Amino acid sequence: MVSSLIPERPLLISPTLAATIGLDEAVLLHVIGELLLQHPPLFRAERHWVELSQQHLRGALPFWDLPKIYAVQQSLREKGLLLLEAVPNAEHLQRIAINQAVAPPATHSDAARQPPSPQAAPSSSRRIPADWRPDRDLLVQCQQRNVPLDFIEQEIAPFVRYYQERQKLSYSWHHAFLKWVVAAWEKQRAVVQGRQQEAPMSAQWRPSEEALDILELAGISLSFVEDAIPEFVLYWRGHGSVSNVWDSKFLAHVKRQWERYTHALEHDTTLRPIPPQFQPSAACWEILALAQIDAAFAEALLPEFILYWRDRNEIHASWNTKFLQHVKFRWAQQLQSAQQGTVLDKMLDRSWAE
């Protein structure tokens, strides 16, 4: 008994085919195969063609709208599984054929002797033949993607050799070649464009404003950057290299040099007199805070410290260390004086006698 929930013939889809070419494509391919059985086919170039209207397609695929149907048709066409032609003077008609060779129509006597064969399914997966070549439709599809004909020709042999060596199978070698040649062409174009933009280092070269902004945001002194340009230009002009990323090379060069420079400053052991505008480093203030020494007390000692050592005209490797020693000594003196004052006050206290 047929269920009322399934009032019509169901669609039968091959799971393997759907996994290979896509579920939508497998559905449409099956429906077109059914329509070929229902309409008188036209036999041409070993293909069975059928003329279908938009109404036929909508009726056979009520769950899709026309744009969806046309999109899936185009996908099958690009995979080399479907052939499409426009019908002259018939805007709403198109000729459709499954891209699979079929035997010529049998004669009346042959048909009487042989039972009708079911509609053939799309070609199964197979290895690529040694003499495989793209057909005219595939060449047109490649050229529509701006791939030159000579480039297409030179890619055929590597494509065939690659898949023969790996003994891979495919439902559509036309679709595989289309993907291969488009990817190869895009890769070659990227390489060519990169080479065209490469240039040797010029004596007048300067980093772009964008590169200067990046270095400034990184906290690198502008004067340091300007001093690095002549050295960078001289090195690469002598090296004779060409590049299309001089800005990137300059950024890396300056950042490396700046790290070395700042590291050398932090660990400099050169003896020098105290600068007139000497200021203790942030690390120096952190050490004083850890020793619980009041920052205002230390700041008040700074002018006297600078004046003392400028008058003595001595040289030292680390004025931060000298300042720390001076502040700690004066802080200890202050604490000692405060403690002595407290003891003396207690000795002279006579409040108990009152």
Helix axis angle, 23-38 relative to 66-78, nearest 10°?
100
| Domain closes at, from 266, 298, 322 | 266
Residue 103's pLDDT is: 55
97 closest CA partner among 129, 117, 119: 119
Q: Are residues 215 and 142 in the same domain?
A: no
| Residues 92 and 27 both lie in one domain | yes
Residue 55 lies in a domain: yes
Residue partners of 186: CB distance under 8 A and separation at least 6: none
255 and 315 assigned to the same domain = no
Would residue 215 count as lying in a domain? yes
Domain tally, the chain: 4
Instruction: Look at residue 78 and tell me if it is in a domain.
Output: yes
Q: What is the CATH classification number for the domain harbouring 71?
A: 1.10.10
State which residues form the domain around 234: 200-266
The distance of Cα 232 from the centroid of its chain, to the nearest Å, equals: 30
Q: Is residue 277 part of a domain?
A: no
Clarify whether residues 338 and 304 are in a common domain: yes
Phi, psi of 42 (to 5 degrees): -105, 125
154 and 165 both lie in a single domain? yes
- Quickly count: other Cβ atoms within 10 Å of residue 309's Cβ: 19
Q: Are residues 49 and 70 in the same domain?
A: yes
Torsion angle in degrees (nearest 10) through CA of 266, 270, 275, 278: 30
Q: Which residues contact 73 (CB under 8 A, 6 or more apart)?
A: 28, 82, 84, 96
The answer to whether 42 touches 50, Cβ cutoff 8 Å, is yes
Mention every residue, 6+ apart, whose C-beta is less than 8 A from residue 143. 149, 152
Each residue's pLDDT, cut to its tens digit, for the chain (354 residues) gives: 445 555 566 777 778 777 778 888 888 888 888 777 776 667 666 677 878 887 888 888 888 888 888 888 888 888 778 888 877 776 677 888 887 766 555 544 444 444 444 444 444 567 888 888 888 888 887 877 788 888 888 889 889 988 888 888 876 788 788 888 888 888 877 766 655 567 888 888 899 898 888 888 888 888 888 888 888 888 888 888 888 788 888 999 889 888 887 776 666 677 889 888 889 888 888 888 877 888 899 899 999 899 998 888 888 878 888 888 888 888 888 877 776 665 545 555 555 454
Q: Long-range contacts for 287-291 (Cβ within 8 Å, ≥24 apart)? A: 287/324, 288/324, 288/327, 291/328, 291/331
**20, part of any domain:** yes
Residue with tokens 């065209």: 196
